[in-house]
Structure formats: C-alpha cells, structure tokens
A and B are shown apart, each in its own frame.
Chain A
Amino acid sequence: QSILTQPPSLSGAPGQRVAISCTGSSSNIGANFDVHWYQQLPGTAPRLLIYSNTNRPSGVPDRFSGSKSGTSASLAITGLQAEDEATYYCQSYDNILSASIFGGGTNLTVL
C-alpha cells in the first residue's frame, strides 16, 4: 500500500484528455513538498515527465501538464496518443518517513 495513492488503471480513446490523480497527506504533498511525474514504457526505465509540480523537461510534449493543490497532485494528458500507453508514477517527499516516496503507479490504456 503506497503512501501516495494513484488509481491502478485508467483508459481513454485517442484524442481524449485523461487526468491521473496522486493523493497524499499532510506529511508529504500537503506539507508543500514538490511532486514529480514519470512515464514508464514496458521493459524500460522510468522517464521524467513533469518536475516540481508543473515543469516539463526539454523534449516532453506540451500535451503533458501537472498541477498540485492541497494534499493532491494531478497529471493531465491531452490529445491522447497510442504511444502514451504506459505506467505513470508520481513522486514526492514524506517528512515522517524522511524519504522520497513513489505512488503505486497508474497503468494507462489507450483504447
């Protein structure tokens, strides 16, 4: 059971918008620690998609965006494409555990 809760799976049709939630608590996201998002394609290492809540590294399409409010964060993907089919993870810091933590991951299926 991850401290950062993500829906295990989500699906959407090509061209649609989907949003993946990451719910934490007052000891992590709610304590104003930044949230990062990663995309992991099958058989590959995770790739940094969004850092510090809203920022995209160079090379990440602007179809991907991040937001954060209160004890939750969200990753939105617009204009869904087949290549977006992957598992997405959120990451933050927890000041009770004194460690960086990851969400359990959301498996996104493009219908």
Chain B
Amino acid sequence: QVQLKESGPGLVRPSQTLSLTCTVSGGTITSGDYYWSWIRQSPGKGLEWLGYIYHNGATYYNPSLKSPISLSVDTSKNQFSLTINSMTAADTAVYYCARDPRYCTSTSCHDHWGQGILVTVSS
C-alpha cells in the first residue's frame, strides 16, 4: 500500500522560504500512472490545490496563487518537493502531498494523501 509523508519545518519566519519534501513508500514515483500534488488547508481558505509534478519533472502550478511556488522531483530518493518563496501569515496552513491517478482525466483526483504537516508563519 503506497504511503506518503511530508517533512520540513513547522515554523517559518515571514519573508523566508518554505521547503517541504514528500517521501513516497510502497510504490515508485516513476510510475507513469500518477502525478504528484501539493495541497494545503487553512482555516480561512479551506482546501487549496497548489500544483503537481510528473516523474519526468513536468509541472503545473495553480495560477491563482499569490506567492510563486516551485516543485521538483528526486526519483533516486522517491521524493518530490515544494518550495514557496516570501512566505506570509496567509501561507499558514496544513500542507499535504498527494498522489493523483491518471484515470481521473478532466479533473485530477487525489487517491492517497500524506498525514499533513502544519506550517506556521510567524516572527
């Protein structure tokens, strides 16, 4: 059974950069059957999809995001990562990584999720 787990800092200072990593176990990130997403959940904005990456490095980001993000993949470690620059208090949220099966075609769906990591932006 595939499992995903987020890792990274729980506290980030305003204007700093957030880097989170998702480690995939029980399955390979190089499977062509899946994309890999980041989603966050904050009390004020609910669930917000941030972007996804494919194993070959192809990415798609949510154009509505105020802060620019970057996704990367490390197939040798079976990991993918999220970077958000210039964090603000509005970026405080629980961040989830998730697997997106390609059988969901018109709208990506997320069939496995990590447990989530709370990231607080505060000085």
Contact = CB atoms under 8 A, between A and B. Distances in A.
Interface of A: 2, 32-36, 38, 44-48, 51-52, 57, 89, 91-93, 97-105
Given A46-B113, A48-B111, A101 B49 contact: yes
Given A45-B114, A47-B113, A99-B63, A105 B46 contact: yes
B63 A97 contact: yes
Task: Name the residue among A33, A46, A51, A100 with the largest chain B CB count within 10 angstroms.
Answer: A100
A2 to B, nearest CB: 6
Interface string B78-108: 0000000000000000001000000111111
Contacts, number: 70
Contacts of A93: 106-108
Interface residues of B, number: 21
Given A46-B47, A48-B110, A89-B47, A97 B105 contact: no
B109 interface: yes
A99 B62 contact: yes
Contacts of A101: 49
24 contacts: A34-B104, A34-B106, A35-B107, A36-B107, A44-B115, A45-B115, A46-B110, A46-B113, A48-B109, A48-B111, A51-B104, A51-B109, A93-B107, A93-B108, A97-B62, A98-B63, A99-B64, A100-B49, A100-B107, A100-B108, A102-B47, A102-B49, A105-B46, A105-B47
A100 B105 CA distance: 12
B6 to A, nearest CB: 10
Nearest to B46: A104
Given A46-B110, A89-B46, A105-B46, 10 more contacts: A34-B109, A45-B114, A46-B47, A46-B113, A48-B109, A51-B104, A91-B109, A98-B63, A99-B49, A100-B107
Contacts of B106: 32-34, 52, 93
